[in-house]
């Protein structure tokens, strides 16, 4: 296992300083969303180039860090057709330059029928699924041209929300250039949290072979809602997760989320103790 972090959890800095700060904590890889993490790069639409990508790649590489995932989170279910088209175009740009970043996975969640990403009851319906499916097919076709992967992350409140919908998306797209970013906490709700073990086992049974990256955070139930907390500080069954990962995806990149500076080192040690180095 390689342990990494979201680069923007360290704030926004020039590339060299950002990479140096992450390297000081001993991490080997990152998920990078350039507008969130790189100082002076406030928007990415139409601004990527091979030169920029190589500069970023080499800045991280000098500190022994690889970019495991490019984060380009878009709303694939946006009800505004024009807005959705602009977001798809932005994601395709990342796919075209991913190899220049030294990366093969560009990741997104699937979004909501509300443009602000809040839950909409129609997210559960067939029309929303078909909208997302059409967008993912378009992105995967671009990924196939450039030899890279679209990484889709299931989220309980969004359109692709559970193991069955994830498997259906994989089957209907029908391309190995679609892979899964697996975050077990994102599949949980107050209604299903007590069945977390079953959900993790079902996930690995349905699509374990297509997991490209694992996100690592934790959860607590608070005031009837799921609240994310750093890994090892909540109720997620990390022993089971690590067992499933070791059996089916050894050496997968595990990327920490919701990190806090005060507990970062301790939380990293917890994950290393669960997954092994």
Q: Is pLDDT at 277 greater than 70 in this prediction?
A: no
User: Is residue 52 one of the residues assigned to a domain?
Assistant: no
User: Is residue 130 one of the residues assigned to a domain?
Assistant: yes
- pLDDT, greater one: 277 or 64: 64
| 226 DSSP β-pair partners | 221
Total tally of structural domains belonging to the chain: 1
Q: Identify the pLDDT of residue 260.
A: 87
Instruction: Show Cβ contacts of residue 112 under 8 Å, excluding neighbours closer than 6 positions.
Output: 75, 77, 118, 119, 120, 123, 157, 158, 159
User: Is residue 108 one of the residues assigned to a domain?
Assistant: yes
Q: Is pLDDT at 65 greater than 70 in this prediction?
A: yes
CATH of the domain at 156: 3.20.20.150
CA distance 196 to 226: 12
156-213 pLDDT, tens digit each: 999 999 999 999 999 999 999 999 999 999 999 999 999 999 999 999 999 999 999 9
Q: What angle do CA 182, 188, 193 make, to 5 degrees?
A: 130
- Chain centre to alpha carbon of residue 129: 19
Q: Is pLDDT at 45 greater than 90 in this prediction?
A: no
User: Is residue 82 one of the residues assigned to a domain?
Assistant: yes
Phi then psi for 65, rounded to 5 degrees?
-120, 135
User: Is residue 233 one of the residues assigned to a domain?
Assistant: no
> For residue 111, what are the domain limits?
72-180
220-274 pLDDT, tens digit each: 999 999 999 999 999 999 999 999 999 999 999 999 998 988 899 999 999 999 9
User: Is residue 89 one of the residues assigned to a domain?
Assistant: yes
47-59 pLDDT, tens digit each: 999 999 999 999 9
Determine if residue 22 is left, alpha or beta; phi over 0 gives left, psi from -120 to 50 gives alpha, anything else beta: alpha
Q: What percent of the chain has pLDDT over 90?
A: 96
For residue 87, how many other CB atoms are within 10 A of its CB? Answer: 21
Beta strand ranges found along the chain (DSSP E) = 2-6, 29-32, 66-71, 105-109, 149-153, 178-182, 211-216, 218-222, 225-229, 253-256
The model carries a pTM of 0.97
Q: pLDDT-based confidence at 1, cuts 50/70/90?
A: confident
User: Is residue 103 one of the residues assigned to a domain?
Assistant: yes
User: Is residue 151 one of the residues assigned to a domain?
Assistant: yes
């Amino acid at each position: 296992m390689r342990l990494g972090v979201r680069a923007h959890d360290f704030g926004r800095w020039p590339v060299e300083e950002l990479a140096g700060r992450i390297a000081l904590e001993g991490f080997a890889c990152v998920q990078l969303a350039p507008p969130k993490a790189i100082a002076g790069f406030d928007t990415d639409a139409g601004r990527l180039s091979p030169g920029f990508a190589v500069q970023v790649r080499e800045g991280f590489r000098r500190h022994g860090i690889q970019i495991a995932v490019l984060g380009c989170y878009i709303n694939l279910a946006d009800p505004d057709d024009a807005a959705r088209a602009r977001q798809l175009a932005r994601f395709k740009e990342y796919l075209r330059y991913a190899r220049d970043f030294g990366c093969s996975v560009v990741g997104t969640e699937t979004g909501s029928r509300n443009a602000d990403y809040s839950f909409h009851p129609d997210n559960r319906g067939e029309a929303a699924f078909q909208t997302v499916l059409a967008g993912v097919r378009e992105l995967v076709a671009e990924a196939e041209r450039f030899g890279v992967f679209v990484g889709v992350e299931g989220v309980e409140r969004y359109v692709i929300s559970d193991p069955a919908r994830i498997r259906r998306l994989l089957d209907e797209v029908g391309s190995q250039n679609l892979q899964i970013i697996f975050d077990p906490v994102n599949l949980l709700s107050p209604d299903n949290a007590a069945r977390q073990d079953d959900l993790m086992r079902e996930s690995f049974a349905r699509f374990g072979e297509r997991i490209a990256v694992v996100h690592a955070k934790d959860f607590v139930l608070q005031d009837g809602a799921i609240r994310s907390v750093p890994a090892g500080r909540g109720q997620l069954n990390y022993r089971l997760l690590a067992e499933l990962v070791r059996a089916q995806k050894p050496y997968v990149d595990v990327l920490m989320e919701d990190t806090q500076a005060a507990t970062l080192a301790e939380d990293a040690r917890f994950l290393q103790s669960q997954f092994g180095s």
